[in-house]
Structure 1
């Protein structure tokens, strides 16, 4: 494992070994059965290229009305619990006693991307956001606390974990592209990104 620091982001390269990655995928299967992936729309009327779902007390959601957290899946059911192996990563890396209330699962297919954005729908920014990469490599771009200016990019591989806290908590970040089928973790290819957040 290697720890890198980039603009305040703590990037733990190779934090999760292959066996633990496979165990995480198995732990996520019940989540996906209980709360299937969906393609959210954005306030402007377009559709996000990633598909997503959530676990925990809250799930992140977007539609024509805006961005927000919801206690229920778009189909009406409550979100499933966050799997224990995911919570264990939060505890190991943050040292925060409070557990996350949302585990947002983003699935990136071959042409999916995520534009530069801030995670700012939470009530208390003193808690970090923990981001877990599984599957194909993703080109992660880190900007600034305001839009514009120079940015830096780094490839995140399966098993890498990023902690966004402190001054980095509200820095713009996104995923420009993935190297489709660069990993064998997901037989059909693609990237899963889990982000753990304290919401309230």
Structure 2
């Protein structure tokens, strides 16, 4: 497990990608079409848009996340109630996620209030929803107020789980930057099959809401060295998930 590094610099030696594993369940390889904007609906309410973020937007997000990773609440490996420690490193904005609740202050880290959720992130989340669902009204009604920003080094994984601490059933908007990962998209009843594995590449957008809002999902693998340093990420994968907490 790596030491949390503010700014995601040099988290480990860059290795060549070992390519997609065989895994279990169905796999869809990500392939961008014209302008990288081919929508793929995996299930009702679950939409993958490859290449949604431009290279410039990716660099801007990396710069912003690098700043948030330094504080006021620094990026860290979250400790779970039963004593386990997550392999991904996480920093939050808007609200602090502490298993399994949201708070304004990071009582499990340093007691500081987390950074505010900026208006430009709200606008980005709304644009994401419009493009994913092709529904302007849905985008206009979307007001995310928190984001969990997860950093994966080459060894980090995220087990199958549901995002269910929110009091709102509004969609989750997920953005990927850096190394490619296998994203496992399951069902609402169990952590096991049926599920679908897809590859999320730098710049990809994934939205899940409606009937798919509480689907089990996880990241069983990251391909080290598969990202482009031009994004501002020298190594590793950055995942930004915007949510609506439903809290006042």
Same fold at TM > 0.5 = yes
Q: Which residue of 1 aligns with 2:189?
A: 146
Assess if the C-alpha contact under 8 Å between 1:24 and 1:86 holds in 2: no
Q: CA deviation at 1:29?
A: 2.6
TM-score (norm 2): 0.74
Q: Among 154, 159, 180, which residue is 1:115 paired with? A: 159
Q: Among 95, 108, 111, which residue is 1:76 paired with? A: 111
State the SS of the aligned residue for 1:87: helix
State the SS of the aligned residue for 2:189: coil
Q: Among 31, 45, 48, which residue is 1:11 paired with? A: 48
How many angstroms apart in 1 are the aligned matches of 2:93 and 2:225? Answer: 26
Assess if the C-alpha contact under 8 Å between 1:132 and 1:193 holds in 2: yes
Q: Which residue of 2 aligns with 1:43?
A: 81
State the SS of the aligned residue for 2:198: strand
Residue 155 to residue 146, structure 1, CA distance change in 2 (3 Å): same
Structure 2: runs of 5 or more not aligned: 1-36, 130-138
The number of residue pairs the alignment matches comes to 194
Residue 19 to residue 42, structure 1, CA distance change in 2 (3 Å): same
Q: Which residue of 1 aligns with 2:209?
A: 165
How many angstroms apart in 1 are the aligned matches of 2:152 and 2:119? Answer: 23
State the SS of the aligned residue for 2:59: helix
How many angstroms apart in 1 are the aligned matches of 2:120 and 2:55? Answer: 14
Within 5 Å, give how 1:80-95 maps onto structure 2: 80-94=115-129, 95=139
How many angstroms apart in 2 are the aligned matches of 1:7 and 1:40? Answer: 30
Q: Which residue of 2 aligns with 1:55?
A: 93
Structure 1: runs of 5 or more not aligned: none
Query: Greater shift after overlay, 149-158 or 78-87?
Result: 78-87
TM-score (norm 1): 0.91
Alpha-carbon displacement from aligned partner over 1:16-53 (angstroms, at most 9, x marks no partner): 01111111112223212222111112232211110101
Q: CA deviation at 1:177?
A: 0.8
**Larger-Rg structure:** 2
Q: Among 134, 137, 158, which residue is 2:180 paired with? A: 137
How many angstroms apart in 2 are the aligned matches of 1:139 and 1:188? Answer: 19
Q: Compute the RMSD of aligned alpha carbons.
A: 1.5
Q: Which residue of 1 aligns with 2:65?
A: 28
